[in-house]
């Protein structure tokens, strides 16, 4: 039996699956990741993306932050791919209990997943730092090259995205820990498991069906009960 066949059998037999995903879930929808050969960290900007996407840079160089953010982070034409769709179907069938994602693109919800825990926030939520009014991603895009300002009080609008130097939402973290610690099958997909504290969440898994699906090796490969080195679409498209 191949590893993919073992995976399909696990999915078939379980009704308590938790999926934990990273950038590799969305690359097949055309959204660039950060760390692969063609990723954002290997492209040339005046500053490294990691610097631009920091709280300090946002506060000091807001206009330049937004230039990069609109150009590289707002992929509003992207559509869910087969992995997003299959996860939504598995949730509707009562098998997947939660999707925990490091992505900020909202594609899981677009595909129909209902219990999605967004560790790093979402580009679809933005708020005025002065009065708290919320704005959608289209508003940010339509504000051109300028810093987006609130149409009520004129305050600066910030994306509800966790930047470097900022902490993760405590409630989201606690919910993620709850679902992972109670899962029968934990599927980790499309992540290098290099970003903490997110990567540390797998320490809370207590079961013996840890499935790791990623094209490249990760520091956690040795901990997987089932390791599949392949693209997520190739694997998830085989779920019936």
**φ/ψ (deg, to 5) at 211:** -105, 125
In the block, residue with structure tokens 């595909």 = 111
Q: Is 120 a catalytic residue?
A: yes
Residue 119 CA, chain-centre distance (Å), reads 7
Among all chains, which residue has been given the structure tokens 């660039």? Answer: 32
Task: Indicate the SS3 state at residue 138.
Answer: helix
Question: What span, in angstroms and rounded, lies between the C-alpha atoms of 232 and 81?
Answer: 10
CA dihedral 45, 52, 28, 196 (to 10 degrees): 130
Q: Which of 61, 120, 124, 182 is catalytic?
A: 120
How far is CA 10 from each of CA 4, 54, 203, 211, rounded to the nearest angstrom? 10, 40, 21, 9
Separation CA 102–CA 105 (nearest Å): 9
Catalytic sites, residue numbers: 120
């Amino acid at each position: 039996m191949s590893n993919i066949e073992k995976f399909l059998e696990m999915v078939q037999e379980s009704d308590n699956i938790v999926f934990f995903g990273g950038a590799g879930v969305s690359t097949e929808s055309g959204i660039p990741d950060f760390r692969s050969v063609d990723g954002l960290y290997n492209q040339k900007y005046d500053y490294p993306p990691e610097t631009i996407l920091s709280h300090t840079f946002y506060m000091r160089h807001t206009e330049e932050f937004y230039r990069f953010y609109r150009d590289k982070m707002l992929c509003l034409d992207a559509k869910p791919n087969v992995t997003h769709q299959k996860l939504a179907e598995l949730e509707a069938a009562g098998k997947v209990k939660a999707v925990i994602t490091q992505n900020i693109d909202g594609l899981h919800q677009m595909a129909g997943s209902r219990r999605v825990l967004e560790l790093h926030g979402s580009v679809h939520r933005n708020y005025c730092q002065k009065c708290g009014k919320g704005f959608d991603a289209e508003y940010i895009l339509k504000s051109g090259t300028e810093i987006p300002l609130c149409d009520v009080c004129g305050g600066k609008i910030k994306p509800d995205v966790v930047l470097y130097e900022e902490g993760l939402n405590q409630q989201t973290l606690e919910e993620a820990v709850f679902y992972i610690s109670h899962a029968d099958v934990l599927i980790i997909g499309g992540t290098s498991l290099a970003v903490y504290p997110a990567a540390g969440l797998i320490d809370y898994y207590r079961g013996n069906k840890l499935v790791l699906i990623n094209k490249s090796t990760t520091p956690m490969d040795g901990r997987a009960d089932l390791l599949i080195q392949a693209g997520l679409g190739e694997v998830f498209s085989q779920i019936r």
